[in-house]
Chain A
Amino acid sequence: MSVDMNMNILIVDDYKTMLRIIRNLLKQLGFNNVDEATDGSMALQKLRDKDYGLVISDWNMEPMTGIQLLREVRADSKLKALPFIMITAESKTENVVAAKEAGVNNYIVKPFNAATLKTKLSSVLGNF
C-alpha cells in the first residue's frame, strides 16, 4: 500500500525551532500538510478537530506531556489507531519501555538526523 503523501501530519513540540526543523525535513521528504502544536492538550484538541494520518510528538512539554498525549490518543475510540512517533531527548530505557507500553509506534532520540526520520517514517507508514 502506498503512502498518502497528502496526509495531514501533526507535529508537537514546545520548542518553536524544533517544530520548524521537523516541518522543513518533512517537506524535504514530500510531506507538505503539516500542522503544529506546542503541548499535548493543544495537540489533542487539533486531533479531535481534524483528520490526521500521523503524530510526531516530543515528550517533555507542559502542561500535557507527550506520553500523556499518547495515552489519551490510545484511549480515544476514534484516535486509537493513529500512528504515533515519539521524538525526544528522553533516552533512558525506562522511557522507551513506558512509551512502548503506552502504544507508541516508533521512537526517535534527539538530536536526530534526516535519514533517521525517513527510516522511522517508512517503518510506521510504509516505504515512500
Chain B
Amino acid sequence: MTKIAKSSDAGMPPELNARLSELQVQSRSPSREDVAEVVSEMLQSLEGDLSEVNLKVYSELEGLAKYILAAKREIAALRPDDITSEHLPKATDELDAIVGSTEEATNGILQAMELLEGLTPQMPAEIAEQVTNAVTQVYESCNFQDITGQRITKVVKTLKHIEDRVEALVAAFGDEIQKYRETHLREEPQQPKSTDEKLLNGPQLPDDAGKQADIDALLASFD
C-alpha cells in the first residue's frame, strides 16, 4: 500500500487519491474487490482523453499517412522532373522538326512541279495535257503537309498541357522527388548503354545534325 500511496501524490485524480487514502487509513490489505474498484476508477479517469472512437480515428489517420507517403514515393519514382525538363521538350522539338522537314520537302516537290508545268507550252498538246493532269495531282497530294502540320500542332499543344500539369506535380512533391533522387541514384546506378545502343540516336534535330561537308572532312581525316 505504501507504494500506491506514494504514487498517488504524482498527478493522480483526486477521487482516486481519496479512495487510496481511505484504504490506507483502514490499515488492511486491499481485497480483490478493492483492487477492482480502484482499477475501474483509473479506467474511468482515462475515458475523457482517449476513447475507443479516438483510438480508431488515430489508427485510420496513421493508415492514411502511410498511404500518402507511399503515393509520394511512387510519384517521386516516376521522376516527373525529368519528364518536364527532358522528355517533353525533346518530344516537342522532334515534332517541330517533322513539320519543318515536311514543309521543306513539300516546297521542293512544288518547285519541281512548277518547273515541269512551265515546260508544257513546249510540249505537244496531248503530252502537255497529261503532264498538267499529273502536276495537278501532285499539287492536290501536297495538301498532306498542311493537314499533318495541323495535327502535329494539336499534339504539341497536348504535350504542353501535360507539361504544365506535371510541373504542378513537381512543385507539390519537390522535396520527396529530391529525396528519391538522392537515395536511389546512389542505390540504383543506371545500366550503362552498350556501345551499339549509344549509336542508336535516330535523326538529329536540324541544329544538331552533322553537315555532309563536316562528315566528308572527318572521313578524309582518316586517309
Contacts and interface: CB of A to CB of B under 8 A. Distances in A.
Interface of A: 13, 15-18, 20-21, 24-25, 28, 60, 89, 110-114
B208 to A, nearest CB: 25
A5 B146 CA distance: 27
Interface stretch (B28-36, B43-51, B136-144, B197-205): B136-144
Contact of A24 (B106, B107, B114, B143): B114
Given A28-B136, A60-B150, A112 B114 contact: no
Contacts of A16: 103, 107
A25 B137 CA distance: 10
Contacts, number: 52
Contacts of A17: 103, 106-107, 110, 142, 145-146
A110 B140 contact: no
B103 A21 contact: no
Given A17-B145, A24-B139, A114-B140, 14 more contacts: A15-B145, A15-B146, A15-B149, A17-B106, A17-B107, A17-B142, A18-B143, A21-B139, A21-B142, A25-B139, A110-B147, A111-B143, A111-B146, A112-B143
Contacts of B132: 28
Contacts of A24: 110, 113-114, 117, 139
Nearest to B145: A17
Interface of B: 103, 106-107, 110, 113-114, 117, 132, 136, 139-140, 142-147, 149-150
Q: Which of B106, B113, B144 has the most CB of A within 10 A?
A: B106
Given A16-B103, A17-B107, A89 B150 contact: yes
A112 B140 contact: yes
Nearest to A25: B139
B139 A89 contact: no
A116 B139 CA distance: 13
B136 A21 contact: no
A15 B103 CA distance: 9
A120 B136 CA distance: 17
Contacts of A114: 136, 139-140
Nearest to B105: A17
Contacts of A21: 110, 139-140, 142-143
Contacts of B146: 13, 15, 17-18, 89, 110-111
Nearest to A90: B150
Nearest to B132: A28
A17 B107 CA distance: 6
B117 to A, nearest CB: 8
Contact of A25 (B136, B144, B149): B136
A28 B139 CA distance: 11
Contacts of A89: 146-147, 150
A17 B103 CA distance: 7
A83 to B, nearest CB: 22
Contacts of A28: 117, 132, 136
